A = this chain, B = another copy of it.
């Protein structure tokens, strides 16, 4: 299998889908001439031309709305919002139109739209540019919320999104764009939505992550094994909606302990959902309260040390595990 970077795996998915289905087109801020702010779309304008790779003005609500309209009329658009930070401006379109039209029209309308955006802190971009809002999107029925943590998942999930009849909020982590991994070159390589991935088996504790935090979980598991001889199972959720809680529950019924790792602020964040569901569905198996290792309750500061302190780290995960054993 060829080894690709996460960004290149995404590009491959876009290319293949553009070739496969002529209803697919891409639009977004600086995806064309600039090549995409994270270079995901580089080269696609040259290859597919201006009708299928469209540089848009900076108008998040407008371009997401246009994507919804085009999808309603039978196209298969992808809208890139550059980063998740700018998606607040398109939230009404996403929540009130993309997510609800199918239901409100009693199934008459559907909105097969892919909205891509980069998420995550840790790059010293300051508070306005460092959001992790996967959980915010997961809250809204009608959406798919997908957040791949590996190059292969990036490809397989993005391609799957183009085959979906609903709107997929496809969230990439800025820290992963350069990550390498083996990626199937099968043009029909699809990963089903709502299937979590057990990245590593273990018996003492379950560590749950998604997107970037998957790797904090993995590194923590390594540290726990090496330093403490603790065997941790690591689960990458892959999708927050639909959520594969069953895989998490099955794991916790085995390990009896769980830690959820998330970049986003802990208070009112998605980790709380996992925690609550575990209590509801695996109470009798829990030997300790589910722990959350998440972002601290502050806007993300620019200074490197402060930012680092505000974000969850593998050390924090290790600490949480040790505290519950």
List residues of A whose CB falls within 8 A of some B CB: 61, 85, 88-89, 91-92, 95-96, 99-100, 103-104, 126-128, 135-136, 138-142, 240-241, 243, 265, 267-273, 275-277, 279-280, 283, 288-292, 297-299, 301
Contact at B279–A139, with CB atoms within 8 Å?
A: no
What B residues does A280 contact at CB under 8 A?
275, 289-292
Per CB-CB distance, the 3 closest pairs between chain A and chain B, nearest first, are A139-B268, A275-B276, A88-B92
Q: Which residue of the partner chain B has the closest CB to A279? A: B289
The answer on a CB contact under 8 Å between B268 and A270 is yes
CA of A100 to CA of B100 in the docked complex: distance in angstroms? 31
Docked complex Cα distance between A135 and B126 (Å): 24
- Chain B residue contacts of A99, Cβ below 8 A: 299
Assess the A299–B103 pair: CB atoms within 8 A. yes
Chain B residues closer than 8 Å to A96, beta-carbon distance: 85, 88, 127-128
The answer to whether A290 and B276 touch (CB under 8 A), given A89-B92, A99-B299, A103-B299, is yes
Once the chains bind, are B299 and A290 in contact (CB under 8 Å)?
no
- The winner among A265, A270, A288, A299 for most chain B CB atoms within 10 A is A299
> A240: nearest residue on chain B (CB-CB)?
B268
Q: Name the one of B139, B267, B292 contacting A138, with C-beta atoms under 8 angstroms.
A: B267
In the bound complex, how far is the Cα of B89 from the Cα of A96, in angstroms?
Answer: 11
B276 touches A139 (CB 8 A): no
Shortest Cβ gap from A112 to chain B (Å): 18
* Given contacts A128-B96, A271-B276, A276-B272, A299 and B91 within 8 Å (CB-CB): no
> By the criterion CB–CB under 8 Å, are A273 and B279 in contact?
no
Q: What are 29 A-B pairs with beta-carbon distances under 8 A?
A: A61-B89, A85-B96, A88-B92, A88-B96, A96-B127, A100-B128, A100-B299, A103-B127, A103-B298, A104-B127, A104-B299, A135-B268, A136-B136, A138-B267, A139-B268, A140-B265, A141-B297, A142-B299, A240-B268, A268-B270, A268-B273, A272-B273, A275-B275, A275-B280, A276-B276, A279-B289, A280-B292, A283-B288, A283-B289
- In angstroms, Cα B7 to Cα A165, docked, is 44
Q: Is the CB of B139 within 8 A of A269?
A: yes
Known: A139-B265, A280-B291. 7 other contacts (CB 8 A): A103-B298, A141-B297, A240-B268, A241-B267, A269-B273, A272-B276, A275-B280
The smallest beta-carbon distance between A162 and chain B, in angstroms, is 24
Given contacts A104-B126, A139-B267, whether A276 and B292 have CB atoms under 8 Å apart is yes
**Residue of B91, B271, B297, B298 touching A88 (CB-CB under 8 A):** B91
Chain B residue numbers with a CB within 8 Å of A288 are 283
Q: Quick one: closest B residue to A270, CB to CB?
A: B268
A91 to chain B, nearest CB (A): 5
